[in-house]
């Protein structure tokens, strides 16, 4: 496919196009429809900041271009250049396989490129088609300066409350600590951190992100499309060949020898854990993502992996396995050889659990075995459920009544650990790595229960998350070379504390029992403003509410909600989200399948604003709190990708407070411009 006889022409073109003459070849017949990493210079011709793609010095990423020839022609040769110099690296070729591309469209890549020089770099592609007609395109990226002149934070703890908006924090504080005459009786653990900022959450292709780009920005420093993490988008349908960006775990393992820990309450393939240990354009590719955790453990330094998702670690065809060809993906040879990782195929029969244990991982299936993990254990794998772990409320209910069959028994996992227990053991293992570590701890079901509008369940998961934060703060207090940040990937459901009930629990039960709808379950119940007063929950010795069905309870409303019935009562059973547990087919008897099957007894339906069965994410900014070494950098309003560069700089000992590379630095020439509109054209509007 690739011919070399056009090289002199390509070289001449690089010299001719200069920095900003990107439009010169735009009218040429072959066309470049995508140039990666993404830039506004390529998309709209604007060479100014904010730069869409930014990297650490030496951080690796793939360069890629999609090139379409004229009808009847093929692309004969292509070369990448950076700052006017053709890259000597091998260009790999693949056909574009997405729909609607002209015949013979190719995707060409230079894999695992890196640039050590801080500053803005221009890069591009030159190509010729088979009749020697040329095309070229340019873009830019920034390498963020790092000056490691201070003390490095060798231990990095990134805590992500999935879907945790500001109101989720407020609700948890009211429930967990209580309010007296307007003053909180105490702070959440995350409230005690000395530095707090605000983070914007938009993804590469939408103002509203999902969890994959939401986590990927912290893992890679770059925006991703929704559904994608660890990669930039491309024009092939394969899920494992997208342009990669080196993650923080990979970068710090390769350059500093640090270990990686991933801990979550969700299924381990889920977006947040996935973004810290895999690279894929398909967040649902669960088999492939879990394979990548193992196959690329020597690139990431993976030493701790804990959560749900056991079904991806069991060979297809065995009890509980969910592995399938559809959810697996190929890591092609050009990616594998350039990045120094194994190529991967479609292999649902693989026994991933067996491979982990053979590679020296201590495997724990439940809380009892987790708590018994010996000091000196250097690699730990915990798989505590077939899919998402059960939520804190249902785990706590079982611990309080061990002999009573409960939700966790129905799901088949009666002995699941709490997140603070998982975080404690993760730190015990990672503490042994003298070069330091990156640990990501996710409270993953805050988001999932907010999607399901199960208010009490996400509030109790918030308490579980905050108790894990407390353990990590204790660790940081005794290890001063530690940075702890607590943030979210996005807000979920537009959840807000709207007030409190004006009636006792008994009165609420009686009103709901009438089936009187708005007249009984809303009017006279929902207390707003001064009618709300101060709901008071009592905590049990285990740290969780004795009951959430108190008199004059806190009430939550949703702004990005599906149709639902609301009776304000704590739901006895969780919704059986399709991703939960083994018993999805047939459904667990008695478990409601969606919010319209739940709470129908009061006959009070709240009409949703979105046409879906569940609530979903909003574009709202979220909060970041930080403590420990370098935490003073985490103030002000920042882009989510800025968080990555602050963390990485602190990890490397650059604790300067600098703003010139921040993505929220203004650009007057782009202000208010529409997506894809060349600023030069705006006066015609
Ligand atoms: Zn979500």
Alpha-carbon span 453 to 650, nearest angstrom: 37
- Whether 276 has a pLDDT exceeding 70, the answer reads yes
CA distance 339 to 92: 13
Tokens of 685: 């509007």
Exposure on the CB side of residue 642, measured as CA atoms within 13 A = 24
The torsion angle over the Cα atoms of residues 539, 530, 616 and 385, rounded to 10 degrees, is 10
Q: What is the pLDDT of residue 587?
A: 63
Distance of CA 492 from the midpoint of ligand 1 (Å): 6
Reply yes or no on whether the pLDDT at 657 is more than 90.
Answer: no
User: Which strands, in side-by-side order, build the sheet including 195-200?
Assistant: 362-364, 380-383, 302-308, 259-267, 437-443, 155-161, 482-487, 622-628, 195-200, 636-639
Separation of 593 CA from ligand 1 center, angstroms?
17
Protein residues within 5 Å, CB atom, of ion ligand 1: 447
587-620 pLDDT per residue, tens = 677 888 889 999 999 999 999 999 999 999 999 9
Q: Compute the distance from residue 470 Cα to the ligand 1 centre, in Å.
A: 24
Kindly give the distance from the C-alpha atom of residue 225 to the centroid of ligand 1, in angstroms, as a whole number: 15
CA of 489 to the centre of ligand 1 (A): 9
Ligand 1 center–CA 491 separation, angstroms: 8
Q: From the centroid of its chain, how far is CA 669?
A: 31
- Measured in Å, residue 669 CA sits from the centre of ligand 1 at 35
Q: Cα separation of 380 and 297, whole Å?
A: 13
Question: 616: Cβ–Cβ under 8 A, 6 or more apart, which residues?
Answer: 208, 451, 492, 493, 560, 610
Over residues 648-668, the mean pLDDT reads 82
Using only C-alpha atoms, the chain has a radius of gyration, in whole angstroms, of 26
Q: How far is the CA of 604 from the centre of ligand 1 (A)?
A: 25
Tokens of 193: 């951190």
pLDDT of residue 660: 67
Ligand 1 centre from 585 Cα, in Å?
23
Report how far ligand 1's centroid is from the alpha carbon of 559 (Å).
14
Taking the centre of ligand 1 as the mean of its atom positions, its distance from the CA of residue 494, in whole angstroms, is 12
State the distance from the centre of ligand 1 to the C-alpha of 316, rounded, in angstroms: 28
Task: Give yes or no for a contact between 266 and 448, defined as CB atoms under 8 angstroms apart.
Answer: yes
pLDDT at residue 578, rounded to an integer: 56
Annotate 514-558 with three-state secondary structure: CCCCHHHHHCCCEECHHHCCCCCCCECCCCCECCCCCCCCEEEEC
Calculate how far, in angstroms, residue 92's C-alpha sits from the geometric centre of ligand 1. 36
Cα of 212 vs centre of ligand 1, distance in Å, is 9
Calculate how far, in angstroms, residue 560's C-alpha sits from the geometric centre of ligand 1: 12
CB 86 within 8 A of CB 10: yes
Could you read off the pLDDT of 437-470 as tens digits, one per residue?
A: 999 999 999 999 999 999 999 999 999 999 999 9
Query: For all residues of the chain together, what is the average pLDDT?
Result: 92
pLDDT digits (tens, 9 = 90+) for 27-49: 448 999 999 999 999 999 999 99
**CA distance linking residue 431 with residue 155, whole number of Å:** 9
CA of 235 to the centre of ligand 1 (A): 26
Using the mean position of ligand 1's atoms as its centre, give its distance from the Cα of residue 561 in Å.
13
Beta bridge partners of 126: 79, 136
Question: In this predicted structure, what is the pLDDT of residue 684?
Answer: 32
**What was the pLDDT predicted at 668?**
65
Q: Give the model confidence (pLDDT) of 514-563 as tens digits.
A: 999 999 999 999 999 999 999 999 999 999 999 999 999 999 999 999 99
CA–centroid distance, 464 to ligand 1, in Å, is 18
Task: Give distance in angstroms: CA of 210 to centre of ligand 1.
Answer: 6
Note the pLDDT of residue 580.
Answer: 53
Ligand 1 center to residue 276 CA distance, Å?
Answer: 17
- Rounded to the nearest angstrom, the distance between the alpha carbon of 447 and the centre of ligand 1 is 5
Reply yes or no on whether the pLDDT at 81 is more than 90.
Answer: yes
Chain centroid, CA 520 distance in Å = 41
Distance (Å) from CA 581 to ligand 1 centroid: 18
Tell me, in angstroms, the distance from the centre of ligand 1 to residue 392's CA. 17
Centre of ligand 1 to C-alpha 450, Å, is 8
Any idea which residue has 């002149």 for tokens? Answer: 149
Centre of ligand 1 to C-alpha 199, Å, is 17
If DSSP codes are grouped into helix, strand and coil, which group holds residue 290?
helix
Centroid of ligand 1 to alpha carbon of 425 (angstroms): 27
Model confidence band, residue 679 (pLDDT cutoffs 50, 70, 90): very low
With beta carbons less than 8 A apart as the criterion, state whether 201 and 612 touch: no
pLDDT digits (tens, 9 = 90+) for 180-224: 999 999 999 999 999 999 999 999 999 999 999 999 999 999 999
585 has a pLDDT exceeding 90: no
What number is the average pLDDT over the span 406-419? 94
Q: Say what the pLDDT of residue 662 is.
A: 76
pLDDT confidence of 678, banded at 50, 70, 90? very low
pLDDT score at 659: 73
CA of 214 to the centre of ligand 1 (A): 10
pLDDT tier for residue 661 given thresholds of 50, 70 and 90: confident
Does 680 score more than 80 pLDDT?
no
Quote the ligand 1 centre to 207 CA distance (angstroms). 15
CA–CA distance, 678 with 674 (Å, rounded to integer)? 8
Q: SS3 sequence, 405-471?
A: CCHHHHCCCCCCCCHHHHHHHHHHHHCCCCCCEEEEEEECHHHHHHHCCCHHHHHHHHHHHHHHHHH
Return the DSSP state at 105: -
- d(CA 326, CA 323) in angstroms, rounded, equals 9
- Within 13 A of 40's CA, how many CA atoms are on the CB side? 20
Give me ligand 1 centre to Cα 662, in Å. Answer: 27
**Distance in Å, CA 517 to ligand 1 centroid:** 29
Sheet holding 31-36, edge to edge: 31-36, 61-68, 106-113, 92-95
What is the CA(371)–ligand 1 centre distance, in A?
Answer: 30
3-state SS class at 636: strand
Helix (H, G, I), strand (E, B) or coil at 610: coil
End-to-end CA distance of the chain: 44
Q: Which residues in 619-646 are b (16+ Cβ under 10 Å) and which e?
A: bbbbbbbbbbbbbebbeeebbbbbbbbb
Q: How far is the CA of 540 from the centre of ligand 1 (A)?
A: 30
Q: How far is the CA of 251 from the centre of ligand 1 (A)?
A: 27
Ligand 1 center to 615 CA (angstroms): 9
Token digits for 556?
């939550």
**Cα 247 to averaged position of ligand 1 atoms, centre (Å):** 22
Q: Under DSSP, is residue 248 helix (H, G, I), strand (E, B) or coil?
A: helix
Please tell me the distance between residue 448's alpha carbon and the centre of ligand 1 in angstroms. Answer: 6
Between the CA of 126 and the centroid of ligand 1 the distance, in Å, is 41
Ligand 1 geometric centre to CA of 648 (Å): 26
pLDDT above 60 (res 173): yes
Distance CA 152, CA 333 (A): 36
Res 304: pLDDT: 98
Q: Who wins on pLDDT, 664 or 150?
A: 150
Angle at 342 (CA atoms; ends 337, 346), nearest 5 degrees? 120
The rounded distance, in Å, linking the Cα atoms of 148 and 220 is 19
Sorting pLDDT into bands at 50, 70 and 90, what band is 658?
confident
CA of 312 to the centre of ligand 1 (A): 21
Half-sphere exposure of 657 (CA within 13 A, CB side): 8
Instruction: Provide the angle, in degrees to the nearest 10, between the axes of the packed helices 248-256 and 211-220.
Output: 20
């Amino acid at each position: 496919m690739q011919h070399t006889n056009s090289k002199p022409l390509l070289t001449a073109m690089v010299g001719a196009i200069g920095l900003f003459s990107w439009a010169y070849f735009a009218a040429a017949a072959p066309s470049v429809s995508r140039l990666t990493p993404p830039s506004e210079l390529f998309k709209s011709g604007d060479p100014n900041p904010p730069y869409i793609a930014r990297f650490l010095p030496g951080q690796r990423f793939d360069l890629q271009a999609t090139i379409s020839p004229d009808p009847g022609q093929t692309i004969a040769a292509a070369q990448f250049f950076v700052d006017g110099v053709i890259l000597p690296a091998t260009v790999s070729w693949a056909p574009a396989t997405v729909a609607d591309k002209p015949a013979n469209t190719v995707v060409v890549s230079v894999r695992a490129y890196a640039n050590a020089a801080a500053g803005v770099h221009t890069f591009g592609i030159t190509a010729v088609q088979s009749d020697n007609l040329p095309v070229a395109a340019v873009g830019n990226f920034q390498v963020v300066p790092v000056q490691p002149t201070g003390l490095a934070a060798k231990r990095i703890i990134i805590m992500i409350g999935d879907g945790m908006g500001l109101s989720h924090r407020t609700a948890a504080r009211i429930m967990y600590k209580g309010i007296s005459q307007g003053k909180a009786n105490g702070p959440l653990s995350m409230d005690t951190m000395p530095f707090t900022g605000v983070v914007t959450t938009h993804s590469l292709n939408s103002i509203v992100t999902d969890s994959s780009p939401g986590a990927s920005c912290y893992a890679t420093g770059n925006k991703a499309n929704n559904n994608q993490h660890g990669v930039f988008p491309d024009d092939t349908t394969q899920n494992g060949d997208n342009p990669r960006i080196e993650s923080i775990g990979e970068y710090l393992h390769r350059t500093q020898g640090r270990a990686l820990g991933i801990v979550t309450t969700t299924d381990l393939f889920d977006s947040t854990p996935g973004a810290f240990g895999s690279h894929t354009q398909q967040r649902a590719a669960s088999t492939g993502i879990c394979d990548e955790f193992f196959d690329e453990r020597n690139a990431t330094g993976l030493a701790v992996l804990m959560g749900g998702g056991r079904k991806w670690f069991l060979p297809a065809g065995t009890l509980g396995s969910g592995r399938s060809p559809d959810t697996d993906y190929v890591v092609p040879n050009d990616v594998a050889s350039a990045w120094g990782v194994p190529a991967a195929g479609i292999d649902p029969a693989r026994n991933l659990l067996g491979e982990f244990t053979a590679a020296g991982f201590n495997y724990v299936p439940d809380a009892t075995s987790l708590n018994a993990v010996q000091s000196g254990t250097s690699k730990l794998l915990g798989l505590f459920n077939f899919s998402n772990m059960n939520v804190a409320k249902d785990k706590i209910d079982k611990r309080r009544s061990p002999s009573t069959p409960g939700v966790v028994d129905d799901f088949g996992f009666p002995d699941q650990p709490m997140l603070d227990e998982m975080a404690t053991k993760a730190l015990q293992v990672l503490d042994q790595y003298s070069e330091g570590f990156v640990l990501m701890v996710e409270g993953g079901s805050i988001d999932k229960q907010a999607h399901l509008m199960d208010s009490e369940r996400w509030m109790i998961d918030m308490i579980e998350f905050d108790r894990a934060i407390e353990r990590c703060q204790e660790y940081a207090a005794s290890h001063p070379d530690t940075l702890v940040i607590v943030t979210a990937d996005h807000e979920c459901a537009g959840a807000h504390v709207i007030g409190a009930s004006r009636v006792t629990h008994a009165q609420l039960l009686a009103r709901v029992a009438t089936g009187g709808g708005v007249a009984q379950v809303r009017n006279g119940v929902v207390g707003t403003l001064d009618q709300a007063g101060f709901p008071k929950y009592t905590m049990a010795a285990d740290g969780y509410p004795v009951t959430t069905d108190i008199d004059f309870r806190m009430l939550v409303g949703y702004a990005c909600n599906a149709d639902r019935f609301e009776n304000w009562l704590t739901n006895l059973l969780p919704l059986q989200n399709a991703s939960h547990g083994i018993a999805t087919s047939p459904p667990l008897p008695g478990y409601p399948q969606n919010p319209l099957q739940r709470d129908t007894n009061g006959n009070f339906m709240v009409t949703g604003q979105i046409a879906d069965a569940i609530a979903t994410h909003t574009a709202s900014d979220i909060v970041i709190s930080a403590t420990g070494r370098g935490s003073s950098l985490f103030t002000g309003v920042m882009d989510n990708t800025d968080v990555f560069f602050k963390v990485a700089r602190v990890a490397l000992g650059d604790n300067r407070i600098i703003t010139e590379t921040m993505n929220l630095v203004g650009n007057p020439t782009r202000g208010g411009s529409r997506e894809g509109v060349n600023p030069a054209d705006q006066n015609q509007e």
